Every structure is written in structure tokens, then in C-alpha cells.
Amino acid sequence: MIIDQAIPRNTGYTEDRTSGDKPLRSIIKSISWRLVGTLDTILISWVITGELTLAFSIGSIELFTKMILYFFHERIWNNVKWGK
């Protein structure tokens, strides 16, 4: 029924919409994005250097540094009201 679709339902999701994402969500987003980004870095490093061991070394270092940077970047932007 169309009327049923217009009535908001309690989904059990209690995020405070005024404050944006919760820190745990930002952590999960950081991890998932870094996995994709790290695979990209490993492939690019391998193509450039021709050495798979070096490519994995580069990828493993940037996995952690960029995940930490992204988390703080995300938290800062979460407090910016512009564009919301």
C-alpha cells in the first residue's frame, strides 16, 4: 500500500543524524577503503619496480599510515557543516 510506504518505521537504528557517522562506522569505512587502496598501491608498486616483495612492503606500510590519516580526515569532515 502506498500509505504504508509513507509512514516511517522504527528500524532500531538510533544514529543521531545531527552528529553524522559514529566513530565505529568511520573505522570500518577506513579499513574497507584502505584494503582497496592498498591493493591498488601493491599493483602499481609491482608494475613500477617489478619486485613483488618490495610492492608488498610498500603496500603494508601505507595500509596503516593512510588508514590512520583517513580516520582523522573523516572525523574532521564529520564536524564541518558545509554542504550538509
Predicted pLDDT at 57: 96
> 17-42: b or e for each residue (b if 16 or more CB lie within 10 Å)?
eeebeeeeebbeebeeebeebbeebb
Q: What is the pLDDT of residues 9-68, one digit of tens each?
A: 555 555 545 567 888 998 888 788 888 999 999 999 999 999 999 999 999 999 888 888
| pTM (global) more than 0.75 | no
C-alpha cell at 42: 601493491
> Are the beta carbons of 21 and 78 closer than 8 angstroms?
yes
